[in-house]
A and B are shown apart, each in its own frame.
Chain A
Amino acid sequence: MFMRAYQDMVFSTAARLAGNDALAEDIAQEVFVRAYEHFGQLRTSPAAGGWLKTVATNLLLNHFTRHRKRWRLFSEFTNHDSAGESTELDFPVPDTLLADLGSEQRRAVIDEALRRLPDHQRLPLVLYHFDERSYDDIAAQLHVSLAKLKTDIRRGRAALLPLLTAAGINRDHLET
C-alpha cells in the first residue's frame, strides 16, 4: 500500500525538522492528503518519495514562517562564547559515534538530541545532513544569509556532537 510504503520516511522527515511529534503528525497527515489529490501521477512515479519529502519539508518551513519561529538574530544556545562563535570541543571524539548501540537506540538518542536544538539550528542541520542539500540551497529556502546559515549549522553540530558522544559513552543514559 502506498501510504505504508512511505509513512515512516514522511514522518521522520517532519519529526526531525519539527522537533515535535504532534506537529510532525499534522504535517505528515497533510502530506498524504495532498498525495491523495495527486495519486494518479504518484502511484506509478519513481519520484513519489522525493515528492512526498519535498512537500513535507515545504509544509514544515511554511509552518515555521507563519509562526515566526525562525532564525532569530541571536543564538539561543548556550554552548558558544560571547563573540558568537561556537566553542571548540574539548574532549576526544571517538572514531565512531554510538557504534555500540543498536540502530533503534541510536535513532532514539539522535532524535532526542536533535529535539533539544533550537529551531534555527535544527532546521538547517537536518536539511544539510539528512536531505544532503547545499548551503546555498538551504540559505535560499530559509531566507537567511549564507554566513548566518553556516554559523547556525556549525553551532548545531557543536551542540549535537557532545550530546551524542556523551550518550555513547554513558549507555546507562539510554536505559532510563
Chain B
Amino acid sequence: MRHDPEPDQDRQRWRLLDQTLRDLPPRPAPGALEPRVFAELRRRAAQPWWQRRFAYWPWPARMVFVVVCMGSSVLALEGGQWTVASLASVAQYATGLLSTVTLLAALPTHFVPPVWLDAALAAGAVLYAMLFALGAFGYRALYLNSPGR
C-alpha cells in the first residue's frame, strides 16, 4: 500500500494534483507506431540466426556453442596453470643464477689482501675524479670557448 507522509499544509494541493493526474486520459499513440512495430518484427525475422538472441538459436548451434565455451574455459584454466608453473621455474633459475654470481663476486676476497682491495677502490675513485675533471676541462676548452659560440 502507498504511504503518504506529506506535511499537512500541502496535502490538499497534492491531493488535487494527484486526482487530476490520475483522471487523465491516455495519450493516443501515433499512427506510425503500428507499422513501425510490424516493420521491426519483419526485420528481426529476416535476420540470420547468429544475429538473434541465444534463446532463438537452433539447438545444434547452441550445443556447439556450449561445448566450445566449456573447452575454452578448460584451455584457459590449463594455460593459467602452465603459466604459473613456468613462472615458478624461471624464478627458481634466476635465484640460482643470482646466488652463483654472488659467490663468484665474493671469491677475490678470499685470495686478495684487504689492503689491496681498499687501494684498488681508492685508485678507482681517483681515476673517476680525474676523468670527470678531464671531461669538464674539455667541455670548457673545446665547447664553451669555441669561436662560433
Contact = CB atoms under 8 A, between A and B. Distances in A.
Given A8-B26, A8-B29, A110-B24, A97 B40 contact: no
A78 interface: no
Interface string B12-34: 11101110111011111110111
Nearest to A110: B24
B17 A10 contact: no
B17 A7 contact: no
B32 A4 contact: no
Q: Which of the four size classes fits the interface of chain A?
A: 35 or more
Interface stretch (A40-48, A60-68, A69-77, A129-137): A129-137
A12 B28 CA distance: 7
Given A33-B37, A132-B2, A134-B1, A25 B21 contact: no
Contacts of B12: 93
Contacts of A33: 37, 40-41, 44
A154 B5 CA distance: 12
A107 B23 CA distance: 9
B149 interface: no
Interface of B: 1-3, 5, 10, 12-14, 16-18, 20-22, 24-30, 32-34, 36-37, 40-41, 44
A160 interface: yes
Interface in A91-139: 93, 95-98, 103-104, 106-107, 110-111, 129-130, 132-136
A129 B18 contact: yes
A107 B25 contact: yes
B139 to A, nearest CB: 59
Given A9-B26, A29-B40, A110-B24, A93 B13 contact: yes
A70 B125 CA distance: 69
B19 to A, nearest CB: 8
Contact of A29 (B14, B24, B28, B37): B37
A29 B21 contact: no
Contacts of B41: 33, 36
A25 B37 CA distance: 10
A23 interface: no
B1 A96 contact: no
A25 B33 contact: yes
A52 interface: no
